Amino acid sequence: MAAVSLNNVVKKFGTMSVVHGASLEVADGEFVVFVGPSGCGKSTLLRMIAGLEDISAGEIVIGGRVVNDVEPAERGIAMVFQSYALYPHMTVEQNLSFGLRMNGNDKADTQRRVSRAADILRISELMHRRPRQLSGGQRQRVAIGRAIVRNPQVFLFDEPLSNLDAELRVQMRVEIARLHKELGVTMIYVTHDQTEAMTLADKIVVLRAGNIEQIGRPLDLYDDPNNQFVAGFVGSPRMNFMAGTVVENSSSVVTVKLANQGGALLRKPLGGPLPAIGAAVVLGVRPEHFGLAGRGDSDITVKVDVAEHLGSTSYVYANAGGGEELVIEREESRHEASLDRMTVSLRATHTYLFDSAGLRLR
Amino acid sequence: MRSKSSAERRRGIALHAALFPLALIWLFPLWMMFVFSTLPENGIFSRDIILTPSDQFVENFNLLESDTGFIRATTISILVAAAYTFLSVALTSMAGWSLACYRFAGKGVVLATILGTLTLPYFVVVIPQFIMVARDFGLHNTLFALIVPPLFNSLGVLFMRQTFSMMPHELFDAARVEGVKEWRIFLFIGLPLARPAVAALSIILFLHSWNNYLWPLLINSKPAMMTAPVALGSLIGLTKVSWGGIMTGAVMLTAPMLVLFVALQRHFVAGISAGAVK
């Protein structure tokens, strides 16, 4: 087990910078998830930790040792790839033992490690099959097994579940969480699926365009995002955003007029500097934070487009004019599906205010 | 469904009807080569065209053997072609691998140079090559001179580079993370996965060496070092041409290649078309 530190890590391809000074601390035994949209640099960051990409500037420390110039195999890491990267011409057993055999590891020890990994992942009966004879989930297990046999200090996962169907993805997610609990090693996991991030992580690192936007525990990010991007990225369905204008600011309270919501006014207390009158702001509301009409600080009326009934809850997709589409979560009440319009309330304490640059106003 | 299958059948018949005469035209010289190899000299030049084989094959072969030492020449040809194929596949695979898998300074220049050599006709190269190998290095009349100078095959390098480029590089990264040395990644992962391409390339290179006439003719002047095609060529004299012997030799050189091609056809087609479709 080992802690991992990234100090101002930069990655450039030619003159193009793709990671702009990432700094991060991963504690020993922690499960950290890098999450962000495609092209945000999360896989590049992981490959730099693995040693598969050189870093252009900065420092990577694993287990107290600077590893900038250390070969991947010497870093004490093991990596699971998105495509599984199983050697197609070898059996499962040969896949698991390949690295150890090539490095001249003792035969008995290799056998013992392979058996242990197979037991942990329940793939003992698949040992003589080739990758093409395995299902997606089994292949993923073998790929994880290949990482386990190395007894790494740090596991690196590069979108390991993205090739699986929805059901298997949930199953494997649980398996990975179990594995983390069982092995207790540091794990760094890359995904673009925020549900995976929320369910697996001790700590989430949200990336955008090569920058770390926010680092925190899943619920901290959910409850207290630093900016509009994080607020929108974490949570499913995503946070609703409504354009507004500050019409009054006094005594640590701003009044925001929501032009696209029939000019509804919401008074929101803020602790920091208040935006100027006339400033454009964005009000964020999570789908579950819309209340029943008349029960909050301000009401808005929206036109219902579609309602999705999921059993215990339903999601109402509503159009409020000005191109703003809202998703409203309600406890299951089927009669709302037939409504053309509905009125919901906003509660100031359950809203988030962002300035025109997307930064949170607290 | 029924009409579709009958339309397909009609199309198949039409295609075969068109291809069959073409196949006959292609096979006719081969057949006549075989027929001539079984005829006595006066049969080959008789006024009537003889289309069926006779019984003079062994006699023609004995003539060929006594005039040229054809068995020894064939042995040299096999040895040269096998060594050339093995070494050239190894060399082109390694060059293709490095161009496909590594980033290094001047890679573009190297690739462009290799591509550039394709535009040079062999006849531009052969004289300087002969002067260098025979005069400067004094290596004429050696097996080394037969095998080594033509080893570098730019088309083979580009073919193998393409093959390795199309493999998922995560496989190689996975091995790197496991601490596997680069040459072992090449040997145990890259090369086994490139088997169809290697098989196709081997056939092409073997045929190239087997049929090579000009270079062995230039570099070896001793009869004891002749390859089979050169031995056959030596039957064409100023005053006498032994057509029976030439045709027998041609049959003996062609038949094993046909058998080899048919036996390895699956690999050949798979290698050539690998990556063309997903």
Q: In this complex, how many residue pairs, one in chain A and one in chain B, have their CB atoms less than 8 Å apart?
A: 64
Of A50, A88, A89, which has the smallest distance from its Cβ to B177's Cβ?
Answer: A50
| Contact of B210 with B257, CB cutoff 8 Å | yes
Of B168, B170, B178, which has the smallest distance from its Cβ to A98's Cβ?
Answer: B178
Question: Two tokens at A299?
Answer: 């009401």
State how beta strands A154-158 and A186-191 pair.
parallel
Q: What pLDDT, on the 0 to 100 scale, is given for residue A338?
A: 63
Q: Order of strands across the sheet with A4-13?
A: A16-26, A4-13, A57-62, A65-66
Question: Two tokens at A84?
Answer: 């599984």
> By C-alpha distance, which of A298, A272, A297, A250 is closest to A354?
A272
Stretch (H or E) spanning B51:
none
- Tell whether B178 is within 8 A of chain A (Cβ): yes
- Tens-place pLDDT, residues B212-235: 999 999 998 888 889 999 998 888
- Residue B74 forms part of a structural domain: yes
> By C-alpha distance, which of A92, A195, A89 is closest to A149?
A92
CATH match of A4-233 with 3.90.600.10: no
Which residues of chain A are within 8 Å of residue B107 when distances are taken between CB atoms? none
* Cα A323 from Cα B192, distance rounded (Å): 56
Contact flag A102-B168 (C-beta cutoff 8 Å):
no
Q: How confident is the model at residue B257 (pLDDT cuts 50, 70, 90)?
A: confident
Domain encompassing residue B210: 69-234
Q: How confident is the model at residue B60 (pLDDT cuts 50, 70, 90)?
A: confident
- Residue B18 forms part of a structural domain: no
Q: What pLDDT, on the 0 to 100 scale, is given for residue A42?
A: 93
Helix/strand/coil for A274: coil
Q: Of all residues in chain B, what percent carry a pLDDT higher than 90? A: 53
Which positions ≥6 away from A107 have C-beta within 8 Å?
none
- In single-letter form, the type of residue at position A229 comes to F
Q: What pLDDT, on the 0 to 100 scale, is given for residue A280?
A: 93
CA angle, B63 then B64 then B68, to 5°: 120
Domain boundaries of chain A, sorted by first residue: 4-233, 240-361
Q: Choose from B169, B171, B178 for mutation: most chain A CBs within 10 A.
A: B178
CA dist B177 to A42, A112, A114, A209, A335, Å? 18, 21, 17, 27, 57
Q: Closest approach of chain B CAs to the CA of A22, in angstroms? A: 23
Q: What Rg value do the Cα atoms of chain A yield, rounded?
A: 24
* Cα A189 from Cα A191, distance rounded (Å): 7
Which positions ≥6 away from A115 have C-beta within 8 Å?
A124
- Tell whether B174 is within 8 A of chain A (Cβ): yes
Which residues of chain B are within 8 Å of residue A151 when distances are taken between CB atoms? none
Q: What pLDDT, on the 0 to 100 scale, is given for residue B275?
A: 46
| Contact of A2 with A186, CB cutoff 8 Å | yes
* Cα B17 from Cα B21, distance rounded (Å): 7
Q: What pLDDT, on the 0 to 100 scale, is given for residue A209?
A: 92
DSSP assignment string, A101-125? HHTT--HHHHHHHHHHHHHHHT-GG
Which residues of chain A are within 8 Å of residue B194 when distances are taken between CB atoms? none
CA angle, B143 then B148 then B154, to 5°: 150
Q: Using the predicted structure, report yes or no on whether residue B72 has a pLDDT greater than 90.
A: yes
- Residue B274 forms part of a structural domain: no
Q: How confident is the model at residue B276 (pLDDT cuts 50, 70, 90)?
A: very low
Bigger pLDDT: B239 vs B236: B236
The residue written with tokens 């080893």 in the block is: B151
Which residues of chain A are within 8 Å of residue B105 when distances are taken between CB atoms? none
Chain A: residue whose CA lies nearest to B194: A89
Q: Where are the alpha helices (DSSP H) in chain B?
A: 2-37, 41-44, 57-68, 70-101, 107-117, 122-130, 143-147, 154-165, 170-177, 182-185, 191-193, 195-211, 214-219, 228-233, 243-263, 265-273
- Tens-place pLDDT, residues B151-199: 888 999 999 999 999 999 999 999 999 999 999 999 999 999 998 899 8
Chain B: residue whose CA lies nearest to A144: B174
Of B179, B188, B192, which has the smallest distance from its Cβ to A103's Cβ?
Answer: B179
Question: Two tokens at B224?
Answer: 């004891």
> By C-alpha distance, which of A42, A46, A1 is closest to A18?
A42
The stretches in chain A having pLDDT less than 70 are 1, 332-338
Of A52, A87, A100, which has the smallest distance from its Cβ to B176's Cβ?
Answer: A52
> By C-alpha distance, which of A49, A45, A37 is closest to A21?
A45
Architecture of domain A240-361 in this structure: Beta Barrel (2.40)
DSSP assignment string, B69-81? -HHHHHHHHHHHH
Q: How many domains does chain B have?
A: 1
Which residues of chain A are within 8 Å of residue B169 when distances are taken between CB atoms? none
* Cα A122 from Cα A338, distance rounded (Å): 49
Adjacent-strand bridge partners of A156: A79, A188
Q: Using the predicted structure, report yes or no on whether residue B278 has a pLDDT greater than 50.
A: no
Q: What pLDDT, on the 0 to 100 scale, is given for residue B270?
A: 66
Adjacent-strand bridge partners of A265: A257
Q: What pLDDT, on the 0 to 100 scale, is given for residue B271?
A: 60
Query: Which CATH number characterizes residue B217's domain?
Result: 1.10.3720.10
Question: Two tokens at B250?
Answer: 């041609």
| Contact of A87 with B170, CB cutoff 8 Å | no
Q: Using the predicted structure, report yes or no on whether residue B272 has a pLDDT greater than 80.
A: no
| Phi-psi group of A247: left, alpha or beta (phi > 0 → left; psi -120 to 50 → alpha; rest → beta) | alpha
Chain B: residue whose CA lies nearest to A76: B177
- Residue B189 forms part of a structural domain: yes
| Contact of A159 with A47, CB cutoff 8 Å | no
The residue written with tokens 């025979």 in the block is: B134
3-state helix/strand/coil string of A24-60: EEECCCCEEEEECCCCCCHHHHHHHHHCCCCCCEEEE
